[in-house]
Structure 1
Amino acid sequence: MSKLILVLNCGSSSLKGAVLNTENSEVLLSCLGEKLGLPDAYITFKVDGQKEKVDLSAQPDHTGAVGAMLDKLKAMGLDSQVGAIGHRVVSGGELYSDSVLINDDVIAAIEKCIPLAPLHNPANLLGIRAAQNIFEGLPNVAVFDTAFHQTMPEHAYTYAVPRKLYRDLGLRRYGFHGTSYRFVSEEAARFLGKDVHNLRLVVAHLGNGASVAAIKNGQSVDTSMGITPLEGLVMGTRAGDIDASVYEFLADNLNLSVKEITNLLNKQSGLLGISELSSDCRTIEEESLNGHAGAILALEIFSYRLAKYVASMAVAAGGIDALVFTGGIGENSDIIRTKVLNYCEFLGMNVDAEANLAARFGNAGIITTADSKVVSVVIPTNEELMIAQDTARLSGL
């Protein structure tokens, strides 16, 4: 068997991992480490549909979780076949427009970008250091969420604030979900039988974190997220676009600090805040069908805001040949897709109800009628495979 790739995606208290064979895209092992940093930390492995939970109390951190992965690979007889490790890194700022082999300079650059992703980059560094320690000698590759969006033109990424703030602090729009957009744009072109370098796509990556991007001729030309993943669409717990004066308003009326307001907008808003019910789209859809007013409103706002962004991204792309839905919500919510396409009917998209219902649970498919002027398609994303392919390429496997 060819050398395998280990893919790591680390959060502050979690670790998602997968071992892939890039030749056939097979996932041989996946795992999720949770409650890292707490005494009751654990990791759950999944192999051939079977799950196994392993206690990490002896070393309840990222290093312990990666060590448990090595133990599992040894038990499966696969440890010697892992040839390299790929890491999802949220922000590379303006420093990287492609994935890169990790060395001391790259680690320093990721540290430099911490102010641009204070919740994510420190966790990504924990995963890198854990992998270097546990899998000593193997090459590590950083795959940046921001890299794909480095092709955005200056007029798309520049905020209308004093230019000195950009020059001195790097205050600009960076965008995220770039690895997903890169995979999905290429896959959508293949699925539609088109050349991605001659295609105007608007892609909606919808999950607990949600964004939309304009991809023209294979390159990102605009996206909804900004300097952080808070800007843009309504999300599971994030407010998305909001008047910046809300900070002063809440500080004056509720005596909240900047940090507390940022926490409110990131973790207490979005679908959760509107519905006063849940951040989980599945729960909200179910309750909306039962007549829950907050759930009904949350779905409508989510869909309406997305539809407005679809139209604006068509401007950025110079037109629209296809609207692509991806991510957990984008791939599975026929209700939201229907709402968005109905709002976008003026652009020439007419939903095919039967096809839309069929395009769920990992099934790609066109969801517009044959007479639609613009096609809409569901394409499942696979960020892990994209990371693994980049890692194999850069490590020479």
Structure 2
Amino acid sequence: MNNFKILAINSGSSSLKFKLYDMPAGNICVGGIVERIGSSEAQFSINDKTKTVPIENHENAVKCLLEELLEQNFINQLNEIVGVGHRVAHGGEFFKKSTVVKEKELEKIEQLGELAPLHNPVNAMGIKVFSEILPQSIQVAVFDTAFHQTIPSYNYLYPLPYSLYQKYKIRKYGFHGTSHQYVSQKAAKVMDLNFKESSFITCHLGNGASICCIKNGKSLDTSMGFTPTDGLMMGTRCGSIDPMILPFLQKNLYLSVDEVEHIINNESGLLGISGISNDFRDVQISAEKGNPLSKISIKMFVKRISEYILSYASELKRIDGIIFTAGIGEHSAYVRREICKQLACIGVRLNSRKNRKNEKIISSENSEVKVLVIPTDEELVIAKDTYKLVHNLVKV
């Protein structure tokens, strides 16, 4: 097998997260993030060292990143990077797996921006910039929705007129697929299980949050839907609500569609209820100081997660493990404890000491269901998928 460098990219509206891998071994050469793109005081972090630099746009961010890789000898020349894998939020029904991106594919990713307006446009922008600056590298899109393509129609269809699905493809797509796939595969290894015969409930809990029901190694159901706004209460997103609230707001507050969309995506969730922050850590501190709305927002957050887990437990019949991952899932022993209290009815029991220490398996010996904390690594999934697609196309 050929050995070469793969760059895994996660583009945000004002950020660019990256990891450079030596593939196929999967060894990380370097990783970091460029934040506050568009500012004269952008933050460029690489290998835990941060410097403040002016970065006008994503093109400047990419140039700055590549210059740093050359300067610090992580690469000797740009053509060592033979593939760039990009996280793309929404693949619709058009993209069922990771794919090499050319003009036609890029156009489709941009069109799907209507379904993921906070994500697809900046994902597409990242692909464009790298295509221009690294024309010799193969660009690959790795879709958050791909893992969920195995969800059966009775779970992905909405109870709307079927003609709306036929004409507009209105259905559940699901997101965070690379994360759900990675942590469930990792958990199967930890538990010495055959992944293709395993059943997990994975909880990706961060500023964006979703839960996935995995049976025999395949996504059976997930909480996010047509867009990433559906499902759980999140940092700024409302999650599932009575749909008639939206026309009510439009009629009574004379709001436009864009204004309502802004409320449900940017002003709701933990931020909307607590009035403090979209960051769970800030809300928890506020709750500990006695802020009643912060306390309520945490109870709502925990309740909705628990309800999804219990509904998926009934769908699976047998659960090999419940997995917590992402920022809150990996680091908040408090959230895990509060959720698992609600799961006592299905035999979940935590080991308090292991939970506080964020150990891999945090359930007690007498727990009927294993509970695990598995750090996610979406970038590694991106790098692996990219390598699979490009290693036969590149002559080294």
Which of 45, 70, 73 aligns to 1:74? It is: 70
Q: Which amino acid aligns with 1:7?
A: A
Q: Which amino acid aligns with 1:257?
A: S
Aligned-pair CA distance for 1:79: 4.8
Matched with 1:144 is 143
- The more displaced of 197-206 and 287-296 is 287-296
1:115–1:314: structure 2 CA closer, same or farther, 3 Å change rule?
same
Q: TM-score, normalised by structure 1?
A: 0.93
1:79–1:241: structure 2 CA closer, same or farther, 3 Å change rule?
farther
1:27–1:265: structure 2 CA closer, same or farther, 3 Å change rule?
farther
Which runs of structure 2 are paired with 1:287-306 in the superposition (5 Å)?
287-306=286-305
- The more displaced of 364-373 and 170-179 is 364-373
Matched with 2:168 is 169
Query: Residue by residue, what CA displacement relative to the aligned partner does 1:213-256 show, whole Å, maximum 9, x if unpaired?
Result: 00111100100001111000010011111001111222233222
**Paired residues of 1:222 and 1:316 also in contact (CA < 8 A):** no
Aligned-pair CA distance for 1:43: 4.6
The count of aligned residue pairs is: 387
Aligned-pair CA distance for 1:82: 2.1
Aligned-pair CA distance for 1:12: 2.8
**Paired residues of 1:247 and 1:261 also in contact (CA < 8 A):** yes
1:275–1:189: structure 2 CA closer, same or farther, 3 Å change rule?
same
Matched with 2:319 is 320
Q: Distance in 2 between matches of 1:232 and 1:268?
A: 16
Matched with 1:34 is 36
Which runs of structure 2 are paired with 1:254-293 in the superposition (5 Å)?
254-293=253-292
- The more displaced of 343-352 and 69-78 is 69-78
Any idea what SS the aligned residue of 2:34 has? strand
Matched with 2:340 is 341
Q: Which amino acid aligns with 1:21?
A: D
Aligned-pair CA distance for 1:374: 0.8
1:45 correspondence with 2:66: no
Matched with 2:369 is 374
Aligned-pair CA distance for 1:145: 0.4
Q: Distance in 2 between matches of 1:92 and 1:128?
A: 14
Structure 2: gaps spanning 5 or more residues: none
Aligned-pair CA distance for 1:111: 2.6
**Paired residues of 1:85 and 1:391 also in contact (CA < 8 A):** yes
Aligned-pair CA distance for 1:54: 2.5
**Paired residues of 2:41 and 2:53 also in contact (CA < 8 A):** no
Matched with 1:128 is 127
Aligned-pair CA distance for 1:13: 3.0
Q: Which amino acid aligns with 1:171?
A: I
Which runs of structure 2 are paired with 1:121-270 in the superposition (5 Å)?
121-270=120-269
**Paired residues of 2:15 and 2:33 also in contact (CA < 8 A):** no
**Paired residues of 2:26 and 2:384 also in contact (CA < 8 A):** no
CA RMSD of aligned residues (A): 1.7
Q: Which amino acid aligns with 2:318?
A: G
Query: Residue by residue, what CA displacement relative to the aligned partner does 1:174-194 show, whole Å, maximum 9, x if unpaired?
Result: 000001111111001111111
Aligned-pair CA distance for 1:200: 1.1
Matched with 2:88 is 89
- The more displaced of 168-177 and 71-80 is 71-80
**Paired residues of 1:25 and 1:385 also in contact (CA < 8 A):** no
**Paired residues of 1:272 and 1:279 also in contact (CA < 8 A):** yes
Structure 1: gaps spanning 5 or more residues: none
**Paired residues of 2:9 and 2:18 also in contact (CA < 8 A):** yes
Matched with 1:64 is 60
Q: Distance in 2 between matches of 1:373 and 1:135?
A: 52
Q: Which amino acid aligns with 2:319?
A: I
